[in-house]
Amino acid sequence: MDLNYNAEERAFQDKVRSFMKEKLPKALSEKVRLGGELTKADMEQWHALLNDNGMLAQNWPKEFGGAEWNAVQRHIYEEEAALANAPRIVPFGLSMLAPVLQNFGSQEQCDHWLPRILDGSDWWCQGYSEPGAGSDLASLKTRAVREGDHYIVNGQKTWTTLGQHANMIFCLVRTDPDVKQQLGISFLLIDMNTLGIEVRPIILLDGTAEVNEVWFTDVKVPVENLVGEENKGWTYAKYLLTHERTNIAGVGSSNAGLEAVKRMAKAEMSGGRPLIENPHFAARIAQVEIDLMAMALSNLRIVSQAAKGGAPGLEASMLKVKGTIIRQEINDLARRAVGTYALPFASEAVEGTNEAPFGPDYAGPVAADYFNNRKLSIFGGSNEVQREIIAKTTLGAMR
């Protein structure tokens, strides 16, 4: 297997690198580098810049206005974006809902919603989880009852990421309570400005409010906002989750995070020598680097297979588990590298301040990142549950 990029791939890499150099606003990349909290305007600015330059809908088919990049091209983008400290692309409309609409939505839904995802007219959020329906998602209770040409929705979603910015939410709702759980779920598109919807922020351990509760009281949703068939939502929901899990592998972020840890470990001293020369620390860096390289190759292999034959299944769970372990290990190494500077929780380092930092600038967000990324092994299906899926599938196949 030739692991070097060929001439065409190198040309593509140059194109992405030039784009990052010329178009990524300095203020934005500096904010990302220092772990600052991005505003809605920041994220929208980056979304628009990518769209204007044909780099947004990377895996969408051309017929829907996508770039149809192959797995290597997407990998190159991830690498370059992370190294340039570009913001993460907000995934909810673009890489979660869009594949569902393209595969299961009607022509009218595709014509209406897909261009609006691209031009940023709509900000989508994901209404899957509920109190009591996280890992056991199929037990969700938010109810949608058909009345004429509307559904009436009642219930509560939770952990809705960036729901405070969203004007649209895609929701799993129960349309038939009298059948096996999985067979009574539907996939609805709901306008967040409809009467009866309330968004309540949840303040996290790191002081940010990136997740919310969303409450529905007698919310009227037009029937044309049903995706696919009524009571077939579980199929669409699972299809979406495999896309969510592959994206969670986060190879680009881990590469950039590892480079940052190495820079910190060269600057920080331990026993009169740079920390990077400490054998124990160096061994941990080497181990995570090896794991990351192995995962990057698996990621490429799996994503390119998926491009040929639909969504990855079991492999998405494997990437999710491995990718999140690696990112959390990198966060832990960063915390150890900056030592006591990671002890105070400096919310001002995340929110932005004119005050001088209490340590080197790279130390400011280390504690906040460490805490915030505890989420990685929980969302998108917890790692424990992913391990169970892997075990059941592989052991089942051996029988």
Ligand X SMILES: Cc1cc2nc3c(=O)[nH]c(=O)nc-3n(C[C@H](O)[C@H](O)[C@H](O)COP(=O)(O)OP(=O)(O)OC[C@H]3O[C@@H](n4cnc5c(N)ncnc54)[C@H](O)[C@@H]3O)c2cc1C
- Count each helix (H run) and each strand (E run) in the chain, helices first: 14, 10
Q: Which stretch binds ligand X (CB under 6 A): 6-14, 38-46, 299-307, 378-386?
A: 378-386
Q: Identify the CA nearest to 83 among candidates 281, 258, 220.
A: 258
Q: Which of 102, 103, 231, 382 touches ligand X (CB under 6 A)? A: 382
Give the Cα separation of 30 and 276 in Å (integer). 25
For residues 119 and 384, which CB has a smaller minimum distance to ligand X in the complex? 384
The least CB distance from residue 19 to ligand X, in Å, is: 29
Give the Cα separation of 126 and 347 in Å (integer). 27
Judged by CB under 6 A, does residue 71 bind ligand X?
no
Judged by CB under 6 A, does residue 126 bind ligand X?
yes
By CB under 6 A, how many residues form the interface with ligand X? 18
Residue with the CB atom nearest ligand X in the bound state: 134
**Pairing, β 197-202 against β 269-270:** unpaired
Helix (H) or strand (E) holding 143: strand 143-147
Give the Cα separation of 328 and 332 in Å (integer). 6
Write the binding mask 188 to 227 for ligand X: x where contact by CB under 6 A, - elsewhere. -----------------------x----------------
Q: Which of residues 266-325 bind ligand X (CB under 6 A)?
A: none
Judged by CB under 6 A, does residue 135 bind ligand X?
yes
Q: Which of residues 356-375 bind ligand X (CB under 6 A)?
A: 375
Q: Which stretch binds ligand X (CB under 6 A): 122-130, 174-182, 256-264, 353-361?
A: 122-130
The least CB distance from residue 169 to ligand X, in Å, is: 9
The least CB distance from residue 187 to ligand X, in Å, is: 13
Q: Identify the CA nearest to 142 among candidates 153, 152, 126, 131.
A: 153
Beta carbons within 8 Å of 281's beta carbon, 6+ residues apart: 265, 270, 275, 333, 336, 337
Give the Cα separation of 303 and 323 in Å (integer). 14
The values of phi and psi at residue 152, to 5°, are -110, 120
Binding site for ligand X (CB under 6 A): 126-129, 134-135, 159-161, 211, 375, 378-379, 381-382, 384-385, 388
